Amino acid sequence: MTNSIAEIEDAGCIFVIGSNTTACHPLVARRILKAKEKGARLIVADPRNIQLGRFADIAVQHRLGSDVALLNGMMHVIIANNWHDAGYIEARTENFQSMVELLEDYTPERVQAITGVVPGDLEKMAALYALNGPSSLLYAMGITQHTTGVDNVKSCCNLAMLCGNVGVRSGGVNPLRGQNNVQGACDMGGLPNVYTGYQAVTDKDAREKFSKAWKAPLPKKPGLTITDMIPAMLEGKLKGLYVIGENPRLSDPDWNHLSSAMKNLDFLVVQELFLSETAQVADVVLAGASVAEKEGTFTNTERRCMRIHEAVPPMGNCLPDWQIIAKLSTAMGYEMNYANPEEIFDEMTSLTPRSYAGMTYERLGIDGLQWPCPDASHPGTPYLHEGTFARGKGKFHAVAYLDPAEMPDDDYPYFLTTGRMFAHFHTGTMTRISSHLDAEQATGYVSIHPEDAKDLQILEGGMLLIASRRGEMEAPARITASVPRGVLFLPIHFGENPPNVLTDAGAFDPMAKIPEFKVSAVKIRKVIAA
């Protein structure tokens, strides 16, 4: 997030796109509703009719995968009405004219043809966002899990800069992370192409710095993304896999494709709290400690690094993840002799100059610190890009709309999208062992519009078979107008009804390598009417 969660309450306008916030980020949703109580305007754009839309000044259901067209249309209207911040654009940005030229084609009429959003609603969205600043834009995986995910994010940034909403309090472009330490994991080099603080593996100076600190030579070439690992398994180029706190058999696209790839491995190690679908097929399972059983830090969605404290000792043979990794590394010939997590954190901050260098366990205290925190006297940074951008000027990108990789046709006439629900977390590894949470929703389901259900002669709870070009699965029907006609929704939490049997491993963003979970073409038929 460019801005802080608390700042949302003081925004003049909040634009939520591709985020079912009340279900997936309820504490952030609470801030949005507080802002509404203070008079903020609220725009919600989502292919489904989500709960947050009830509180919106305007809520639109645009077609799956049409985010770029919708955002371009809003910007077209803003520029046509001179609602953009010309002074900000002149002083702080570049490449504006090339974007303007592209936006000329995104008239409200053309945008309606692509998105289904009528011109009047598009114009209202544009006016609310542009004229009620500071405006905060919030998004989640409804923006990123597309073949055009990077384009979607660029378009969000374009809109925010167009109206001078980056580098100001209560504005910004604010991704809501899917898990509590996704931000921290990336910050700490949990990506194949960077060290801590996004220092590139290909950068000679960075590589030499880390090599000296770790007293070991380091490769010049970045590693593989998850998307690249799967074909490497199938080709026999990747023979061993070490999975930590991940459940790819349920979270990665195309169950059958992934299962074939994993069967081709020589050795699979899974480090987990519980026997997830992936752990069940592992050669070795290493028992990690839970959050209540270990010390360390995490960094949340607003870039806030905070400490966690051991509340109870680890059960049985469980160990904190860092100890397992250190023991394995030592056994394999590279000694890791850290005394505690603080020692690891101090090493990390010493190697990460711009963002974490000023942090210590003592300074983190109870509330933590937001990066960048470059030195010991720095208070942390509530919002980014005040006065200037890291690259100097913010760059506009002329982003054209592209169709999703797979559109409905005569053979597969329905759109399928996937997502989360309130009661469960990710693949259900932790939440589904709770009887209280599982009682909220004990099985998967497929949301279907009443008219589509009528056409199929299906009743509530009736069993439907959903098939794509990758595979098929069954799920009971949940008849609801929250999805438009021609669209189905499957939650991702249920191994008995796994939506990744249907999703496409070959459809992913070419830059970020994020799979297109949000759009697939499927067909359905009735199995049991109920």
DSSP string, 183-243: HHHHHTT-STTB-GGG-BTT-HHHHHHHHHHHTS---SS----HHHHHHHHHTTS--EEEE
Q: Which residues contact 320 (CB under 8 A, 6 or more apart)?
A: 288, 289, 293, 294, 295, 296, 314, 341
pLDDT at res. 481: 96
Quick one: which of 172, 161, 155 has its CA closest to 88? 161
pLDDT at position 143, please?
97
For residue 90, give the 3-state DSSP assignment. Answer: helix
The model's pLDDT over 511-529, given as tens digits with 9 standing for 90+, comes to: 999 999 999 999 999 888 7
Query: Which of the 8 DSSP states describes residue 53?
Result: G
Kindly report, residue by residue over 27-80, the tens digit of the pLDDT: 999 999 999 999 999 999 999 999 999 999 999 999 999 999 999 999 999 999
Q: Which of 504, 518, 494 is nearest to 470 (CA)?
A: 504
| Structure token pair of residue 453 | 């259900």
SS3 108: helix
Q: Are 210 and 351 in contact (CB under 8 A)?
A: yes
Chain-centre distance of CA 382, in angstroms?
Answer: 21
pLDDT digits (tens, 9 = 90+) for 348-390: 999 998 899 999 999 999 999 999 999 999 999 999 999 999 9
Of 70, 87, 85, the C-alpha closest to 18 is 70
Delimit the domains of the chain by residue range: 6-176, 178-220+290-308+341-370, 414-528
State residue 180's pLDDT score: 78
Q: Give the helix/strand (H/E) hosting 46.
A: none
- 108 token code pair: 């409200």
Chain-centroid distance of CA 441 in Å reads 23
In this prediction, residue 441 has a pLDDT band, given cuts at 50, 70 and 90, of confident
Q: CB within 8 A of 128, min separation 6: which ones? A: 13, 41, 43, 57, 58
Give residue 282's pLDDT band: very low, low, confident or very high (50, 70, 90).
very high
DSSP 314: P
pTM over 0.75: yes
pLDDT confidence of residue 427? 84
Do 136 and 7 form a contact (C-beta atoms < 8 A)? yes
Would you state the pLDDT for residue 255?
Answer: 86
**Residue 404: pLDDT band by 50, 70, 90 thresholds?**
very high
The predicted structure's pLDDT at residue 429: 83
> How confident is the model over 233-260, as pLDDT tens digits?
999 999 999 999 899 998 889 988 999 9
The pLDDT tens digits for 455-500 are 999 999 999 999 999 999 999 999 999 999 999 999 998 888 999 9
Assess whether pLDDT exceeds 90 at residue 428. Answer: no
pLDDT of residue 494: 86
Cα of first residue to Cα of last residue in the chain, in angstroms, is: 46
Q: Which CATH superfamily is domain 6-176 in?
A: Dimethylsulfoxide Reductase, domain 2 (3.40.228.10)
Which percentage of the chain shows pLDDT scores above 90? 89
DSSP-based three-state secondary structure for 299: strand
The fold for domain 414-528 equals Barwin-like endoglucanases (2.40.40)
Determine the Cα–Cα distance for residues 369 and 380; give it in Å rounded to an integer: 5
**Cα–Cα distance for residue pair 489/416, rounded to 1 Å:** 6
| Mean pLDDT computed over every residue of the chain | 95
pLDDT digits (tens, 9 = 90+) for 199-232: 999 999 999 999 999 999 999 999 999 999 999 9
